[in-house]
Structure 1
Amino acid sequence: MATIKDVAELAGVSTATVSRVINQTAWVEPVTRERVEKAMRELNYHRNAAAIALAKRSGDMLGLLTGNLADPFFARLARGVEEVSRQQQFRLMVCSGGHDEGMEKSGLDFLINQGCEAIVVHASRLSEKELLRYAAHFPAMVVVNRYIAGMANRCVWLENSQAAKTATLHLLEQGHRCIACVTSDLPIIDRRERLEGYRQALAEYGITPDKSWVISVPFNEEGGERAAHQLLNCGIPFTAAVTFNDVMAAGIMRILHQQGITLPQQLSIVGFDDVVMARYLYPALTTMHYPVERMARCASQLAIQLFKGAIQRPSVNSFTADLVIRDSVLPPRNQCVNRQAPEL
């Protein structure tokens, strides 16, 4: 394996010059830089990521790996992290994983290589094994919105199953019995846990949902629109639905309004997250308030404390979601959303 000394000899420069080219710590003549980079290519020289990260650390820097920044949920997550970084006088570097395993891995590598001393990670697709591997080499990394037993004291998570159960029970208590679950089409942990809570609530009322009651679509507005068409055309007399998030609920509501469906008289909806838009939908959306900003602040503070070695004892950082009752739920009446089904 080629070394930095080998590169220096082939390029005819000092090892210090090669180091400056690699780490971009000082200006190097373009001709010299080109010679060094050519030597690196010829020798197939691979830079050591840990060494680069160490070299680039020039002050307190907090990294955030998040999901889709266009999603209002992740905007709230980023806002909570930013608040702590300002308070602690840390610089903040943010990148998105896009709910894609490859992007999450490259994003995490990027933050480490840029010299982030502490990192808050929201990774829905990276495996537990992979995250544990990163955690073993990076002691100030904290995972948010996910529980991993092997690093529980460095996780900040939501009790997803209980939250989904609460949402479904609210509909059951209003008299609904045919309740759809509009969920993510990605095999993420949140999906599994919320489906578990949904089924637990139905079981308490002696209801075993058919698999067709679960509608799996992308968890964005377009996914919600797709779910609305399935609700209209599936032949099942749904009177209510719980959704994976509020933007999916918004997509459902848009299509149903277009089709002349009266909400909540013909379909009651409960969302999840309680993003700002939820209160401005028509009708205003009943939803589960996800304390994502508090969780983000907790995760950021924990990561910085770990970096500073200020942790006194392990803590349990689980959070619960609260039901926010607005106007999108009513007891079921004689009509349902499905135009193909008979009246109840």
Structure 2
Amino acid sequence: MATIKDIAQEAGVSSATVSRVINNGPKVGEATRNRVKKIMADLGYRPNANARALVTQRSASFGIVLPELSDPFFATMAHGIESVTRKKNVQILMSTGSIEKATELKAIETLLEHRCNAMVVHSKALDDATLIDFANTIPGFVLINRYIEEIANRCVWLDNIAGGETMARYILKQGHKKLVVVSSKYQINDPVDRIAGIEQELNANGIDLSPNMIEYSTPDQEGGEVAMQNFLAKGAEFTAVLAYNDAMASGAMTMLLDHSIDIPNEVSVIGYDDVLLAKYCRPKLTTLRYPIEMMAVKATELALQYAAGIQPEPGKTFKYAPTIVKRESVSKANQ
């Protein structure tokens, strides 16, 4: 059976353009519209329920695009979405994007094929232009954990630069000056922004963040272990570790403890996200709370409102900020 992607490839246009043709949308030239319609007929494509759902502004099901399902962070996000859709008696369809451009695109197209005109999308790999195109085509399209100025009113996002500043500021207030950063190796905005915030705060206090103070690895516990092992192997001197997320912080702590380094008396560790793991690792992890469930609830409410015909307010944006959760893994630096 032909898909929107098949039609787009055959016509030499984007998937969003095909969706506009299906739904009689604007911004499509007559020649392009006719070409797409002919290819749809030739390939036997029948939009049926999907088209009707979009035209009537009613969502038969609610779509979610997540990078993966196993990460506790994204499980919490999905729970926030489900808490809203359950009350609205709306069915959820979930797809994963794996932080890969082609996979994210396929995930969104799959949801369209299942007549989702309301969806919350976590996309890190797709370019801004493609996401803007989808936002202009899908009535209830909302991005989470990403900000694009042109569609600001469809973005529910966290200020990660402010988050980096906050964690660095807190560590500096505890008297730590010898710091290392354990970060994600993925080329997405989140780790870049968090490091930028850390660097800004360190620079404001007369401390340079040199490249040898940062180790990049996979954003999970194993990645945290590997990054910390690299620091120890090269004899890095530090009294505090700033981790990209709680999983990496937990892995780094495991490696430190395996080398008989006391936490927090010898080395303090701070994480990011405040997932359930943070409460139950030992020592309990001081971290930044990422209000992902709250953000997911807001994103879901917006998607349903927009799909129902309520127009997004021009220029409106939905920015959140992380906050410090103090537990046991950070202490004053030994003078």
TM range (shorter): 0.7 to 0.9
Match of 2:140 in 1: 140
Q: Normalising by structure 1, what TM-score? A: 0.81
Cα separation, partners in 2 of 1:50 and 1:218, compared to 1, 3 Å = farther
Distance in 2, Cα, partners of 1:256 & 1:243? 13
Match of 2:299 in 1: 299
Deviations 1:20-52 (A, max 9, x none): xxxxxxxxxxxxxxxxxxxxxxx9954548567
1:321 aligns with 2:327: no
- 2:182, 2:228 within 8 Å by CA — same for their partners in 1? no
Deviations 1:195-236 (A, max 9, x none): 110001101110111111111111011111111101211222
Q: 1:54 aligns with which of 51, 54, 68?
A: 51
Unpaired stretches in structure 1, ≥5 consecutive residues: 3-42, 335-344
1:198 aligns with 2:195: no
How many residues get paired? 293
Matches within 5 A, 1:1-344: 45-46=42-43, 48=45, 53-54=50-51, 60-311=60-311, 313-314=313-314, 315-333=316-334
Distance in 2, Cα, partners of 1:285 & 1:220? 15
Matched AA of 1:326:
R
SS where residue 272 of structure 2 aligns? Answer: strand
Deviations 1:164-191 (A, max 9, x none): 1100111111111111111110110111
Structure 1 window deviating more from structure 2 (283-292 vs 302-311): it is 302-311
Distance in 2, Cα, partners of 1:46 & 1:178? 63
Cα separation, partners in 2 of 1:330 and 1:230, compared to 1, 3 Å = same
Matched AA of 2:97:
G
Distance in 2, Cα, partners of 1:183 & 1:271? 11
Structure 1 window deviating more from structure 2 (226-235 vs 282-291): it is 226-235
Higher gyration radius (CA): 1
Distance in 2, Cα, partners of 1:150 & 1:79? 28
Matched AA of 1:195:
I
C-alpha RMSD of matched pairs (Å): 2.1
- 2:60, 2:115 within 8 Å by CA — same for their partners in 1? no
Cα separation, partners in 2 of 1:94 and 1:312, compared to 1, 3 Å = closer
Distance in 1, Cα, partners of 2:43 & 2:134? 20
- 1:132, 1:150 within 8 Å by CA — same for their partners in 2? yes
Q: Normalising by structure 2, what TM-score? A: 0.83
Cα separation, partners in 2 of 1:49 and 1:267, compared to 1, 3 Å = farther
Match of 1:7 in 2: none
Cα separation, partners in 2 of 1:331 and 1:302, compared to 1, 3 Å = same
